[in-house]
Amino acid sequence: MKDIEGFKDYILKLAEEKESVYLHHFTDEEGMLWKYLFDEVKNDGYVEEGWGIYGAITPKFTPKGFAFWISGGYTGGMVKKQKEKATQLIKSVAVEVLKETLRNL
């Protein structure tokens, strides 16, 4: 239960992050929940695949772990708009996934 709460907090932190966020300290279980979260919403137009949000936040594997940052190719206003949409997506899906997880504990 404590691990799930910490994972939720980290997702919310990621949603608010303005710089790169490294996920190297995720446990395997948390990483799988993260991948599941994105796989479940891949048809909504933002998620490109299990590990990427198209046009909003792009993950890259680095020596420190997965780094997420804003994709290029947009004006400042467009980046802000996409970031806001991604933030809402991450928060809403994270809450729903956690509710379902807690129901099944």
What is the residue extent of each domain of the chain?
A: 2-100
What's the whole-number mean pLDDT along residues 33-51? Answer: 46
Beta strands at 65-70 and 52-53: parallel, antiparallel or unpaired: unpaired
**Residue scoring higher pLDDT (39 or 51):** 39
What's the whole-number mean pLDDT along residues 17-44? Answer: 52
CATH level 2 (architecture), domain 2-100:
Alpha-Beta Complex (3.90)
Specify whether the backbone of 89 is left (phi greater than 0), alpha (psi in -120 to 50) or beta.
alpha
pLDDT for 92: 74
Asked if the model's pLDDT at residue 19 lies above 60, the reply is no
What's the whole-number mean pLDDT along residues 1-7? Answer: 55
pTM of the model: 0.30
**What six digits make up the tokens of 62?**
């680095």
Quick: pLDDT tens for 47-103.
343 444 443 444 555 555 444 444 444 445 655 666 666 677 777 777 777 777 777
The candidate with the shortest Cα–Cα distance to 71, out of 87, 85, 86, 54, is 54
Residues 102 and 37: their CA atoms lie apart, in Å, by 15
Backbone angles phi, psi at 79, to 5 degrees: -60, -45
DSSP state of 21: E
Q: How confident is the model at residue 33 (pLDDT cuts 50, 70, 90)?
A: low
**Residue scoring higher pLDDT (26 or 57):** 26
